[in-house]
Structure 1
């Protein structure tokens, strides 16, 4: 497989921070996303390369192996095992040489052993198997979609994959689809598909985990005298009883009216409502007179 400089693919330096890598990937993934570049083969090719590069460099362990072994990073463990075996063989040979005066192996022979390890393993029926690349992708959905369990079809390397997105998935959450990454080597298992969710929220509700927060306007008269108020929740309307003399900034909790809990059917967080008392404007002369009279009573 040809060597690919993943740092160049993501347009970052080799000492880039995890934050820089994540930022670069998101910027370029949006630029070359197939949905924004229909029928553009070059953009599709670049998008796949970005996913591959991000899968390696966004994972601390993978990045460490890549920095040490380059294109052979996926075989890092096998190389390290071979190095240990080589060291043990050298040590054993030195002991044997000191005790028996037998044949001594040269450095070239040990280097040949290291470089041809996989070929020998194959000829001896012990072919080493390696897991394929993990693919990464970012899936953008609306918060209303995240509220209910639904299905979505993704296209990965020309193959359609139908997945179920559970209600309650969070922004930035990663879901692993096993076996839908790169092909394994020497009969090894396929890699996995790692999907990072980016959830857009254009509603009046702020989400924090399973809880929702919103602000509701309350007119001055209802705040002072009490009454009823119909408010929106995420999935419908409810009627609230307002206590007399409700203060600006007062909060109420509606239990179970928040966001669904991930993979916990029928369980929801809470909805927290903050009242914002609105002062009346454009008062009539009669209203001004009444407020003036009221102020004298206080």
Structure 2
């Protein structure tokens, strides 16, 4: 069998990252999946090649062997062992001439056959099994929706899927629902469902993982003299004591008043407040007079 360049099969560069390989495989696998190309032998052949390439390149260990040994990558360990034995035998460091490659006359390598259920039907063995196509869905939620754990029903390809959305899910996070993809072929397992969350924030709070941030306006008199104020948190209002002489930009941490920690029940991040002191812009004559008196006292 001719050597198969797995990088060309997936259409990626040899320096491609694991994420790039995974993305390329999903895109190509959807295109050539047997369920979408019934009775198309070429699509079936291509799909098998894609699966074989993905199984090799998605494994860092196998990919390293493949990059070094090419078509003989499966025999890398045997090659090294044979080399060590030969060196021990003759003491001259000669490399053993290890014949390798794929089994003669086969459409695909033994590696692929072992991964997907054995020999083809024409070889008298079992029919190859293939995992079903993965589904991808995007779920839009409001920040308030993910403050508490709740259930939601999604309709994917005409089927209703009831799922529990844990509190603390982040924007852009992907969750895998095993076995909710397309049916496999040849008795293979179902694909999986990947849900990407898009979280819209229409609140006055800025979120960074489990921590929340907000700016609170503080009047000049409270900043100078101190006192009690009421501030909004994500789940209600709390009273705060402002220290006399509070400066503009002062930060205060409210421990445990942030956002829920993902999949950690009853654990919350912190809430960070930044004070923004508001300078009065419309003073009465009396106020001006008093501020003038204060300014004179300051200079004494």
Shorter-chain-normalised TM-score: which range?
0.5 to 0.7
- Give the structure 1 partner of residue 35 of structure 2: none
For the 8 Å contact 2:143–2:200, the answer to whether it is kept is yes
1: CA distance between counterparts of 2:289 and 2:200?
49
Q: CA deviation at 1:296?
A: 1.2
Further displaced range: 65-74 or 179-188 = 65-74
1:90-122 per-position Cα deviation (integer Å, ceiling 9, x unaligned):
xxxxxxxxxxxxxxxxxxxx66x418x899623
1:101-145 per-position Cα deviation (integer Å, ceiling 9, x unaligned):
xxxxxxxxx66x418x89962352421111111111111000000
- Give the structure 2 partner of residue 178 of structure 1: 178
Q: Please point out which of 24, 32, 56 is paired with 1:63.
A: 24
1:64-85 per-position Cα deviation (integer Å, ceiling 9, x unaligned):
586699723455345899x979
Q: CA deviation at 1:255?
A: 0.2
Structure 1 unaligned spans of 5+: 1-13, 16-57, 89-109
Provide the secondary structure at the position in 2 that maps to 1:282. Answer: coil
Q: CA deviation at 1:182?
A: 1.3
Instruction: State the TM-score, normalized to the length of structure 1.
Output: 0.66
Q: CA deviation at 1:149?
A: 0.3
Distance change >3 Å, CA 62–CA 209, structure 1 → 2: closer
Distance change >3 Å, CA 74–CA 172, structure 1 → 2: farther
- Give the structure 2 partner of residue 114 of structure 1: 107
Distance change >3 Å, CA 292–CA 76, structure 1 → 2: same
Number of positions where the alignment pairs a residue of Structure 1 with one of Structure 2: 221
For the 8 Å contact 2:133–2:190, the answer to whether it is kept is yes
- Give the structure 2 partner of residue 262 of structure 1: 262
For the 8 Å contact 1:62–1:73, the answer to whether it is kept is no
RMSD after superposition: 3.3
Provide the secondary structure at the position in 2 that maps to 1:297. Answer: helix
- Give the structure 1 partner of residue 204 of structure 2: 204
Structure 2 unaligned spans of 5+: 1-10, 13-18, 33-45, 57-69, 76-103
2: CA distance between counterparts of 1:280 and 1:294?
15
Provide the secondary structure at the position in 2 that maps to 1:114. Answer: coil
2: CA distance between counterparts of 1:192 and 1:69?
13
2: CA distance between counterparts of 1:145 and 1:211?
16
- Give the structure 2 partner of residue 157 of structure 1: 157
Consecutive aligned runs of 4 or more in structure 1 exceeding 4 Å deviation: 64-70, 77-81, 117-120
Instruction: State the TM-score, normalized to the length of structure 2.
Output: 0.66
Q: CA deviation at 1:61?
A: 2.8
Provide the secondary structure at the position in 2 that maps to 1:212. Answer: strand
